[in-house]
Structure 1
Amino acid sequence: MKSFFFFTCLLAIFSAFFLFNIDQNREQQAMAEDVVSTDEELHPHVKEQKDTLIERADDIGIDVVITEGYRSHDRQDDLYAQGRTESGDIVTNAEAGESYHNYGLAIDFAIENSDGEIIWDIEYDGTESGESDWLEVAAIGEDLGFEWGGHWNDYPHLQMDFGLSIEELQEAKQQLDNESG
């Protein structure tokens, strides 16, 4: 009787863990599918290097999925509200105009496994090379001139700031808006 109770409890715990992981993967997958990553609004050099990143990763057996590119101010506001005034986890500390995504200078990526599942686990080694696929992609990105967000705990993030701060980009945008408006 004790063993039956033990196995029943074990099954319940395993089921809860399994369902939690499925739900978490579905949420991340939905987030990835919800994004419109428009290449046209990326800086031309960022777009070119993004394409090269995908090709180089593919050459070593890693399927990179771009989950976000240019991000409108409305989209940035929506993401900033998440976990604050809206449900969900906090996914950004940048408000509209405070992200390199808002200027077409950043992309976010994930890894897709051979079953077509989006992998957010930064330790995942689908190529069985002994090194995380995420770290391999980050190294490719840095070789291409991207700065990797993993250096500040934003692992899916790659950006090219061209030596410009967010404040400088905001000022330039404001000046352009004033001249055209």
Structure 2
Amino acid sequence: MTKRFLKLFGILIILFIIGIIIYKYSEYQKELSRQPLPTTLHPLVAKKKDILIDQASEKGITILITDGFRTVEEQDALYARGRNNDAAIVTNAKGGESYHNYGLAIDFAIKLDNGSVIWDLEYDGNENGQSDWLEVVAIAKELGFSWGGDWDHFTDNPHLQMDFGLSIRDLQKGHRPDTE
């Protein structure tokens, strides 16, 4: 009887500890899910964006950041483009599914001397025999950005992001990269 009682008591203790762990984990998940969405670019992304602009300029390339932080509503409007009219589809990400919504992505274009903006991957405005676009991408990668042009499923040539090792699912659950 004593061995049986001790065994049962041990099992109850283990179940109690498992219950506490599950409760604490669920509280942690609830706290994470209450994390507000950012309202600006992440400080490191903003800093690297400025460095990218400067380093591209040093190569004779002027870039324009065409997009940075995007609200969920702005993302949903972008997602609707090309789905509810004759325009081209520009994204497969709904609101909350884009790194832009978490301040971790920027889009760029090449700005010409006459002020017009182009998205031409072959343009060589600085006449060094290399695509200006790909020169900017190389700088961005050196700065820690990943490029949407490398994606297999949906290439997004203007897109640069820093995910800090976090997936969209992580971000949706409330995980955020450090701001330091």
Secondary structure of the residue aligned to 1:141 is helix
Matches within 5 A, 1:100-139: 100-139=99-138
Kindly indicate whether structure 1 or structure 2 has the higher relative contact order, using CA contacts under 8 Å at least 6 residues apart.
2
Residue ranges of structure 2 left out of the alignment (5+ in a row): 1-38, 176-180
> In structure 2, the residue corresponding to 1:172 is in which secondary structure?
coil
Partner of 2:46: 47
Which residue of structure 1 lines up, in the alignment, with residue 140 of structure 2? 141
Counterpart of 2:156?
A: 154
Deviation at 1:86, TM superposition (A): 3.5
- What pairs with 1:80-99 in structure 2 (closer than 5 Å)? 80-99=79-98
C-alpha distance after superposition, 1:70-98 (max 9, x if no partner): 00011100010011124411000000000
Which one has a larger percent helix, Structure 1 or Structure 2? 1
String of CA shifts for 1:111-132, please: whole Å, max 9, x gaps: 0011111011111110111110
Instruction: Give the aligned residue type for 1:154.
Output: D
* RMSD (Å) for aligned C-alpha atoms: 1.1
Query: Match of 1:172?
Result: 174
Number of matched residues?
A: 134
Moved over 6 A (4+): none
State the percentage of identical aligned residues. Answer: 60
Kindly provide the amino acid, as one letter, of the partner of residue 171 in structure 2: L
Is the radius of gyration larger for structure 1 or structure 2? 2
Of 53-62 and 113-122, more deviation after overlay is shown by 113-122
